[in-house]
Structure 1
């Protein structure tokens, strides 16, 4: 008699476990897509899109600089406006050069401030997906590294802020996720480069 009563319960338990098993695999797939190996592919896709965007963007700037026109100046002004108010004042001459063709010296000075990223720093920025949110001179999601340099943080402060971000330091930007998995040594190399900007 108990066998007859337990058989339907066993079938129900089997069906429920099968349903939960399917659901949990579905949940595992969703989790993996957002946080596991799927997140790496999304980051790689975002980096490729960003690199393609960068390839398409610089092409007009060298042509404009070669022709002697101040077309490269608005890009420098845009990156300056992404930062603090005093940076925008410091780039006022560049904005004036874009509207005043007589001021030919200012557009050539703006690109000189854009130092290339050293290979070791670039490798670390790619390794830890920093470039998904930050660029050396342009605002993406987070502040540009040049704007971070203007805050004059020490290397230790930058390490602390990467491991435990303080959104109140950067109002107007989305809060950064804590990056506690990034080794201190890697952050110090990046921080020293940021402070050299």
Structure 2
């Protein structure tokens, strides 16, 4: 099985690569690439994202044919994709970080700045926080509810269809921190920085 981490120059993804390598060793063939043919022939894709919504969307669009290839992989071929942090946020129709920017439109919704209640909550939301698993999700197999995950973000994804939400975290409000829609999976937290539990989530995705 081929698993590809899409490297589209969106910041430092070394911890994502290292954790997937640790989990995938001897089990699957792991590639880190922006080569469209390798992405097309993959069985599963990981879409990381660091920085702002706009900078990540711009970076995806700067590689000719990449967005079309991802759309075909996810929407037409219905193969599994896992988005991490801004990788998840880009599933939305639109984001408002820096300026209004169109997302991939895979899961209807928008990405807005977390309401910090006039400074009561610090932004970015950074560090460990509990997740509340609200529906059974394939990537949460054998993960206990109220497990702690590692977060770094100032913006949140608000999907129109609440049934796609698989987990939330409490920070100023109930923030969506995981989604699952058919073959599309995403976490706002960083599984690659969330110790053994995070590695278990990665393992669950690889074993899908």
For normalisation by structure 2, the TM-score amounts to 0.23
User: More strand per residue: 1 or 2?
Assistant: 2
For normalisation by structure 1, the TM-score amounts to 0.24
Larger radius of gyration: 1
